[in-house]
Amino acid sequence: MTEPADTLLIAIAQLNPTVGDVSGNLAIARRTRQTAGEAGADLVVFPELFIAGYPAEDLVLKPAFLAACQEAVEALAAETATGPAVLIGAPWVEEGRLFNSVLLLEEGKISAVRHKVDLPNYGVFDEKRVFAAGPLPGPIPFKGVRLGVPICEDIWGPDVVECLAETGAEILIVPNGSPYRRSVHAERENIAVARVVESHLPLLYVNQVGGQDELVFDGASFVLNADRFPALQFPGFVERVRLSRWQRFEDTWRCLGGNLVEAMEGDEADYAACVVGLRDYVNKNGFPGVVLGLSGGIDSALCAAIAVDALGPERVRCLMLPYRFTSEDSLKDAAAVAEGLGVSYEVVSIAPAVEGLEAVLAPLFAGTERDVTEENLQARVRGTLLMSVSNKFGAMVVTTGNKSEMSTGYATLYGDMNGGFNPIKDLYKTEVLRLARLRNRWKPAEALGPDGIVIPEALIAKPPSAELRADQKDEDALPPYPLLDTILARLVEGESALDEIIADGFDAATVARAARLLAGAEYKRRQAAPGVKVTGRSFGRDRRYPITNRFREA
């Protein structure tokens, strides 16, 4: 019988797996285990579904993928005959059912398996679609210590932790694949504190980091002792592996503490999420770099800054694509952004292409007035040129529409909506302006771009315009952005009824118009590039409305 340990050294691996890269994720786990073993670790703890990457979505329904995950786990288990044990997540099949599982690998074998009980099925999550729910778990014995291992959502309600506490768990270890959204760190801490208070047990929370399509995982792993006080706090949005030291005091385990880093919050966290999301989308999909249209407007300027911070200036190519409505200020501002960021910058007039298309269309449009059709030709020429550069040189087109535009349809399909990824898709216009000012005074610690002002204040301050006709301003077609964005947030994130918004003092006609624009643009959003989720409800996985939909409140 194993004598109970009085001390434990647990390595917490806040790492960035890639969905589907089973061999690559296994290699990361092996390197991490080796390094942790050299530091004296007894156990290395990885995030949820680490071997597969999270979320793997319907990939886990593919038998060949499940077989590869099982082989990887078994290979890693065999290596634990010496050195530290491993607690790692993987999709796992038992008795013909597929589970989201965590496995303890020690002494050369798989010594325990626990399955996730509470499968999230809201927002960006649809785990009930692919996984079976596990039974309420008991603790896992390890070196004479009983480890309770609830998996991510299992701690968001009391039942799983209550079961673990009642069956003798001494330390709670929680592997997570918890994506970033505003204020989520505080929510996680509140949930963890509640479980600690109820169970009287210390809790180790390990979360993955990195981008996966529209989701960004911020890490921000932490340890709370049974008295609710934090013992460890990891930084957000960066990979870290740290050793946590645990000691038994009579009948209670305590983490002896270490680094406490203030969690990144607010606009800084939003910006960091945009950088990480773009970086990992480009790198994990094998693009050599990105190309984007630098218009002299705020959206493309912020996207250029995010791209440089994510990839470095040498991997970012910017094109200014002017037409006769492009102002001198825009030409000057775009050049200033390119110079400040140190990126490749070229000016290519679109006049020959636009005028050529107009000439081709002239017989078809005979007898009609110029309207938005001709304006959209400019956007579509720009989109075609950017996609052509992408096809020729392999760089991915970054599309630059903000959430205000995505909400109202103030964007051109097959034009400025062209591209492979949009780092500001979930930021309203007013938030884009705020983050631009933030970037001029701050950047994430691991950002690859220059310090200081990279977006001229004059560019930030000037009235937004698509510059598709003379003297055009966004407010010719839309309510002022501070007003519009407030209403849109109520409609999109809050799902508020129009009467509720009007009752709070908003103009009825403006609210009704915003709602009509939102409903009418669904077909455009369905064809939009993926982009980073930062708010509580992004377009895409979060908010799924039918395109054909006759319901209207106004």
Residues 125-135 have pLDDT tens digits of 889 899 999 99
Phi and psi based region of residue 169 (left: phi greater than 0; alpha: psi -120 to 50; beta: remaining)? beta
- Average of per-residue pLDDT across 271-288: 98
Q: What band does 290 get if pLDDT is binned at 50, 70 and 90?
A: very high
Tens digits of per-residue pLDDT, 498-519?
999 999 999 999 999 999 999 9
What pLDDT score was predicted for residue 1? 52
Whole-number pLDDT of residue 541: 83
| Overall number of domains in the chain | 2
Specify the pLDDT at position 464.
Answer: 85
Does 306 share its domain with 340?
A: yes
Do 297 and 198 lie in a common domain?
Answer: no
**How confident is the model over 168-207, as pLDDT tens digits?**
999 999 999 999 999 899 999 999 999 999 999 999 999 9
Q: What CA–CA distance (Å, rounded) separates 275 from 278?
A: 5
- Assigned domain for 550 exists: no
Within 10 angstroms of residue 181's Cβ, the number of other Cβ atoms is 24
Main-chain dihedrals φ then ψ at residue 451, nearest 5 degrees = -75, 165
Give me the chain's average pLDDT, please: 94
Q: Cα–chain-centroid distance for residue 334?
A: 28
Catalytic residue among 116, 284, 403, 429: 116
Check if 314 is active-site: no
Task: Give me the mean pLDDT over the 534-545 stretch.
Answer: 90
**What average pLDDT does range 22-48 have in this prediction?**
97
Confidence band (pLDDT; 50, 70, 90) for 407? very high
Q: What is the Cα–Cα distance from 408 to 514, expressed in whole angstroms?
A: 7
Q: Are residues 295 and 242 in the same domain?
A: no
Q: What is the pLDDT of residue 478?
A: 86
Give the pLDDT band of residue 531 (cuts 50, 70, 90): very high
Residue 84: give its domain's CATH number: 3.60.110.10
pLDDT above 70 for 294: yes
Are residue 240 and residue 286 in the same domain, yes or no?
no
CA separation for the pair 272, 485 (Å, rounded): 22
Query: What kind and span of H or E run contains 298?
Result: helix 298-311
Q: Is the same domain home to 115 and 172?
A: yes
Say yes or no to pLDDT of 474 above 80: no
> Could you report the per-residue pLDDT of 77-114, keeping only the tens digit for each?
999 999 999 999 999 999 999 999 999 999 999 999 99
Burial pattern 396-420, b for ≥16 Cβ within 10 A else e, equals bbbbbbbbbbbbbbbbbbebbbbbb
Judge whether 196 and 174 are in contact, CB under 8 Å. Answer: no
Same domain, 321 and 183: no
Query: In which domain, by residue range, is 101 found?
Result: 8-254
Strand partners for 255 = 246
- To the query of whether residue 48 is one of the catalytic residues in this protein, the response is yes
Residue 418 and residue 371 share a domain: yes
User: Which residue, chain included where needed, has tokens 């890490």?
Assistant: 219
Residue 464 φ/ψ, nearest 5 degrees: -65, 140
Can you give the pLDDT at residue 525?
Answer: 94
In a domain, 3, yes or no: no
Give the separation between CA 114 and CA 104, rounded to whole angstroms.
Answer: 9
Is 128 inside a domain boundary? yes
Q: How long a stretch of residues is the chain?
A: 554
**Of 425, 429, 411, which is closest to residue 523 (Cα–Cα)?**
411
Cis peptide before 55 (omega within 30 of 0): yes
Q: What is the Cα–Cα distance from 531 to 539, expressed in whole angstroms?
A: 9
**Token pair 């200036």: residue:** 313
248, 288: one domain = no
| 146 beta partners | 141
pTM score, two decimals?
0.95
Angstrom distance (rounded) from CA 411 to CA 521: 10
What value does the mean pLDDT take over residues 144-150?
96
| Same-domain check for residues 291 and 215 | no
Out of 254, 283, 299, pick the residue that ends a domain: 254
Let me know whether 278 and 247 are in one domain: no
* Phi and psi, residue 379, nearest 5°: -65, -40
Q: Which helix (H) or strand (E) holds 43?
A: strand 43-45
Q: What is the pLDDT of residues 162-173, one digit of tens each?
A: 999 999 999 999
Number of C-beta neighbours around residue 37 at 10 A? 17
The identity of residue 205, as a single letter, is: Y
pLDDT value of residue 123 = 82
Percent of the chain at pLDDT exceeding 90: 89
Q: State which of 222, 254, 286 marks the end of a domain.
A: 254
Between 281-285, 461-465, 467-471, 475-479, the lowest mean confidence (pLDDT) is in 467-471
Annotated binding site: 122, 178, 293-300, 376, 400, 405, 524
Residue 376 lies in a domain: yes
Q: What is the DSSP letter of 79?
A: G
Q: What is the pLDDT of residue 98?
A: 97
329-364, pLDDT tens digit by residue?
999 999 999 999 999 999 999 999 999 999 999 999
pLDDT band, very low/low/confident/very high, at 20 (cuts 50, 70, 90): very high
The reply to whether 236 and 100 lie within a common domain is: yes
Annotated binding site for ATP: 293-300, 400
Mean pLDDT of 316-325: 96
Cα angle for residues 298, 274, 242 (degrees, 5° grid):
150
Tell me the C-alpha distance between 139 and 187, whole Å: 25
Give the number of other Cβ atoms within 10 Å of residue 113's Cβ: 18
Catalytic residue flag (residue 152): yes
C-beta separation of 316 from 341 below 8 A = yes
How is residue 171 written in tokens? 């330390």
- Please count the other Cβ atoms lying within 10 Å of the Cβ belonging to residue 368: 9
In a domain? residue 105: yes
Query: Token pair for residue 106?
Result: 């020690």
| Six-digit token string for 190 | 């509140």
Q: Span 235-253, mean pLDDT?
A: 94
Q: Are 389 and 317 in contact (CB under 8 A)?
A: yes
Write down the pLDDT at residue 213. 95
Catalytic residue among 48, 106, 127, 189: 48
Q: Which residue has the higher pLDDT, 53 or 463?
A: 53
Sheet of strand 140-142: strand arrangement: 140-142, 145-148, 171-176, 203-207, 222-224, 230-233
Is residue 439 assigned to a domain? yes
In a domain, 337, yes or no: yes
Task: Judge whether 477 lies within some domain.
Answer: no
- Boundary of a domain, candidates 254, 284, 316: 254
- What's phi and psi for 393, nearest 5 deg? -115, -10
Give me the residues paired with residue 174 across strands. Answer: 205
Catalytic residue among 69, 106, 127, 152, which? 152
**Residue range 370-386: mean pLDDT, rounded:** 94
477 has a pLDDT exceeding 70: yes
Query: CA 543, CA 256: separation in Å to the nearest integer?
Result: 43
Q: Percent of the chain beyond pLDDT 70?
A: 99
121 in the same domain as 148: yes
Spatial CB neighbours of 261, under 8 Å, sequence gap ≥ 6: 233, 234, 235
* Cβ within 8 Å of residue 443, ≥6 positions away: 271, 309, 449, 451
Q: Side chain identity at 89, as an amino acid letter?
A: G
CATH code at position 397:
3.40.50.620
pLDDT at 2 over 70: no
